[in-house]
Amino acid sequence: MADREVAGGGRRFPLPDFLQSVNLKYVKLGYHYLITHAAYISIPFILAASTQLSQVTVEDLRLLGDQLQHNLVAVVLCLALSVVLATVYFMSRPRPVYLVDFACYKPEDARKCTREIFMEQSSLAGSFTEENLAFQRKILERSGLGQDTYFPEAVMRVPPNPCMAEARKEAEMVMFGAIDELLAKTGVKVRDIGVLVVNCSLFNPTPSLSSMIVNHYKLRGDVTSLNLGGMGCSAGLISIDLAKQLLQVQRNTYALVVSTENITLNWYFGNNRSMLVSNCLFRMGGAAVLLSNRSSDKRRSKYQLIHTVRTHKGAENRSYGCVFQEEDNDGKVGVALSKDLMSVAGEALKTNITTLGPLVLPMSEQLLFLATLLARKLFKVNIRPYIPDFKLAFEHFCIHAGGRAVLDELEKNLELSDWHMEPSRMTLYRFGNTSSSSLWYELAYTEAKGRIRRGDRTWQIAFGSGFKCNSAVWRALRTINPAKEKQNPWLDEIHNFPVDVPKVVAIKS
């Protein structure tokens, strides 16, 4: 671009190209800082008002008292109304919900399944064609999963033994393992738990999983117990939202939220490729979370729940059918993933963040978004839609580890860095897709790395069948010191992470 010039005193001086000499990133940061700290601009006016007030004399106060005496009835009514309104406000405002602690189940080493063992077991099952064995190998090589994910015992047997008894055994192992660890970390007595919410999409026996927990831990008879099924990988955040609402009406109690999935009865033994993808991604895992509405728990809790935003696109047929459990042509049950899955997820994400954005984004980002929207809609200016910078609203991101493609798309669309994506990618690598519990393995990773500081905000976001996109926002109430953590699934190996995960990892024959 040619230098621009301006005349002055008979001479011509070249003007610099500001678009090239100024880093626009820092211009934006300066703009954000100015808007965010605009309140400080009012300090001189406050000081001026204070100076005026300091000049008020006794005579001025006497005249003010005379005025109040002449309007005594109005003053009393105003005071009474203020008291009533203040009472209504304090009685109706939402109770704060605190996350005391959480625990993620880490299976024993005997349950580890390398990529080579996975392919060997799939071959020995005797139900897959050679073409579909090659298809599973291709998916697994590009999945982003590592060599230490876990499978239940029944699936690892030769031949596999998927039955109700083995499925119950897996459910008990995962749920009780996570809850035992959580109770040990918090010291909470089971009799103090007033709310229990359990979510598992594909395994819903009778009695329910929540009843299984009530029976095992002998929870009290008036516990509010709920069991959520068929709600996909985002059901963990639905459970958090439901527990939050229940804690608004039950005083001084704890809510136990358990999120898991069951592999034993949902391993697909057919040859429908849209159903085989799940075999390659889903692994064994679960988490237990303890929430509280007791003000006395704020000091010892890790986080406070700030927002939950739920988006459901099930009214649209394309969204409703993109993750669908059904029988294949041979009568074998599996979960089919539609080719529209990524575009449906993108639409659900857009709707969710449109609702979440005004709640969390700084005013600077909201003004930029509004200005761009007005320019496009009202003045028909041909400019790209403005994508808000969510890094200004959150320090940490926990994105459901549903698969490498999902993480790649969100990294691109939200313009996140490798550092922001690290908890999600390492969780996928180390534990695989553990469905609704994956968000908690990711938060545990962030804690184990010593990244959580008091006041930090964390965004958990998950996708699920239906189709749903759900978000939860947490604010750290204290700095998390990994050395003082009693249990964490990452602690004994966190020094090995992060690791490089190639786009394709060949499986040894």
Active site residues: 233, 312, 396, 400, 433
For the beta carbon of residue 389, count every other beta carbon within 10 angstroms: 17
Give the type of residue at 43.
I
What is the Cα–Cα distance from 358 to 41, expressed in whole angstroms?
23
| SS3 state at 333 | strand
Question: DSSP readout, 177-216?
Answer: HHHHHHHHHH---GGGEEEEEEE-SS---SS-HHHHHHHH
Contact 263, 499 (CB under 8 A): no
User: CB neighbours of 249 closer than 8 A, spacing ≥ 6?
Assistant: none
What's the gap between Cα 408 and its chain centre?
A: 17
User: CB neighbours of 197 closer than 8 A, spacing ≥ 6?
Assistant: 210, 226, 228, 239, 242, 243, 246, 255, 256, 257, 258
Contact 172, 454 (CB under 8 A): no
| SS3 state at 239 | helix
Query: How buried is 59 (Cβ within 10 angstroms: 0-12 exposed, 13-18 middle, 19+ buried)?
Result: exposed
For the beta carbon of residue 289, count every other beta carbon within 10 angstroms: 26
Q: Which of 119, 509, 439 is nearest to 276 (CA)?
A: 119
What is the Cα–Cα distance from 443 to 448, expressed in whole angstroms?
9
Is beta strand 224-228 parallel, antiparallel or unpaired with respect to 193-199?
parallel
Distances (CA, A) of 473 to 20, 247, 276, 348: 38, 17, 34, 18
Could you give the residue ranges of the DSSP H alpha helices within 218-340? 235-247, 273-281, 317-320
